[in-house]
Amino acid sequence: MKFTLKIWRQKDAASKGAFETYKVENISADTSFLEMLDILNNNLVHEGKEPVAFDHDCREGICGMCSLHIDGQAHGPSQGATTCQIYMRKFEDGATITIEPWRSAAFPVIKDLVVNRSAYDQILQAGGFISVRTNSVPDANAIPIPKADADESMDAAACIGCGACAATCKNGSAMLFVAARVSSLAKLPQGRVEAARRAKAMVAKMDELGFGNCTNTGACQAECPKSISIAHIARLNREFLSAKLED
């Protein structure tokens, strides 16, 4: 297969970026999207040009490092998959593919397709943890947890913090990320203890960092590589509002 790639190139955060067009040929249909970019970069290095910078790590959909807005969609055309889980068979032979970095004021571009997502780390540091002593692993049945609660908590915990939600949201809102973290802890007994403080602290940090307001479009859950539901946003709203009303 062969493709024309329109890729956002930007020297650094202070520079003005622009799209550059590249051609790649002899790409197997079973090549992953990131491998295709590796091939492109290999070609660029051989030509003495600067390779395209992009984030990646585990390449199996669990680390949350890969990003990329591909043909108008965060993580490309597949639903419930990260960029590293997309294969070139998803694209038509000869297609022109536009690749952009996450666009959100809270995620400034560092270089080319790499953005600074440390804002999510800062939100986590504000309250996305439990501070009670849990000691060693307790007996499995020591604390009974309803199966439905455990399932909901695990669904929310599937969030890999990739930033696709804020990158997709027309408002640049990080609500799905914050909601997933608040929800996964609030549904379990040990996390429940600090649920009110956590919701308030994480929302305050989210606002402080300049993320936008959720308008319930649902675009985040449509593009989330872990298909996290906006029902967790409803839970965050409940947790936050009830905590505020108790102040």
Partner 1 sequence: MSCFLTKSSLGKKLVMSITGAFLVLFILFHMSMNLTAIISPDGYNAICRFLGANWYALAGTAVLALGVLVHFLYALMLTVDNYRARGKQRYAVTVTEPGVSWASKNMLVIGFIVLAGLLLHLFNFWAKMQLVEVLGGHASVVGGHTVAATDGAALIAYTFSKWYYVALYLLWFAALWFHLTHGVWSMFQTVGWANDTWYPRLKCIANVVATLVFLGFAAVVAVYFMKSCCSCCA
Residues near partner 1 (CB under 8 A), total = 51
Phi, psi of 90 (to 5 degrees): -70, -15
Q: Which is nearer to partner 1, 42 or 216 (CB)?
A: 216
Window 116-155: contact mask with partner 1 (x via CB under 8 A): ----------------------------------------
Torsion sign (Cα): 142, 146, 147, 151? negative
Residue 14: CB atoms within 10 Å: 8
Interface residue with partner 1, options 13, 105, 132, 143 (CB under 8 A): 105
- 96-111 residues labelled b (16+ CB within 10 A) or e (exposed): ebebbbbebebbebbb
Q: DSSP letters of 211-238? A: --------HHHHH-TT---THHHHHHHH
**Smallest distance, partner 1 to C-beta of residue 28, A:** 25
Q: Is 182 helix (H, G, I), strand (E, B) or coil?
A: helix
Of 50, 95, 97, 46, the residue nearest 76 (C-alpha): 97
Q: Smaller CB distance to partner 1: residue 105 or 132?
A: 105
The CA–CA distances, whole Å, from 12 to 42, 90, 99, 103, 199 equal 21, 31, 17, 15, 35
Residues in 161-220 that interact with partner 1 by CB under 8 A = 168, 170-173, 203-204, 206-207, 210-219
| CB 124 to partner 1: min, Å | 18
Name the residue nearer to partner 1 (CB basis): 188 or 240: 240
Residue 21 phi, psi (nearest 5): -105, 135
**Does residue 36 interact with partner 1 by CB under 8 A?**
no
Kindly tell me which residue out of 106, 156, 160, 180 binds partner 1, with binding defined by CB under 8 A.
106
- Cβ–Cβ under 8 Å, residues 27 and 92: no
Q: How far is the CB of 159 from partner 1 (least distance, A)?
A: 16
Candidate residues 9, 59, 90, 103; the one interacting with partner 1 per rule CB under 8 A: 103
Q: Looking at 72, 92, 116, 197, which residue binds partner 1 (CB under 8 A)?
A: 72
Site residues for partner 1 per CB under 8 A: 6, 17, 19, 69, 71-73, 79, 98, 100, 103-106, 109, 168, 170-173, 203-204, 206-207, 210-219, 221-223, 229-231, 233-241, 244, 247
